[in-house]
Amino acid sequence: MEKDIFCRIASGEIPADIVYEDDELVAFKDVRPQAPIHILIVPRKHISKLDDATAEDAELLGRLMLTAIKVARLIGIAESGYRVIANNGPDAGQEVYHIHFHVLGGRRLGPLG
């Protein structure tokens, strides 16, 4: 099976502007930022979408959220505020089928819609 773009970024096969990484996760700048700060938090493990996660992934999902918090502090938007989003499936506009959290900040964000 062909690897998706985030598997290829996580393995170092294609470049990204990485802001944080560890054994399980990699965080990098979104190529099409929707805000002054737009970081993607991606597990190295391939899971296509939130709906495919199981109880086995509970720790990984917790680490994804904790890494979003860590990266927001690292980048300096913890005080000003930020938003964490995960898109699941077509109606959410999911484009890359590899679980990821968006961390958005650096300006006052509008209402969700």
Contact (CB, 8 A) for 65 and 85: no
Residue type at 3? Answer: K
Q: Does 47 bind ligand DGP (CB under 6 A)?
A: no
- CA–CA gap between residue 100 and residue 40 (Å, rounded): 6
Stretch that binds ligand DGP, among 55-63, 70-78, 87-95, 105-113 (CB under 6 A): 87-95
| Binding status of residue 31 toward ligand DGP by CB under 6 A | yes
At residue 83, φ and ψ (nearest 5 deg) are -125, 140
16 part of the interface to ligand DGP, by CB under 6 A: yes
Residue pointed to by tokens 């805000």: 35
Active site residue 100: yes
Residues that bind ligand DGP (CB under 6 A): 5, 16, 28-32, 40, 87, 93-96
Q: Which residues are annotated as catalytic? A: 100
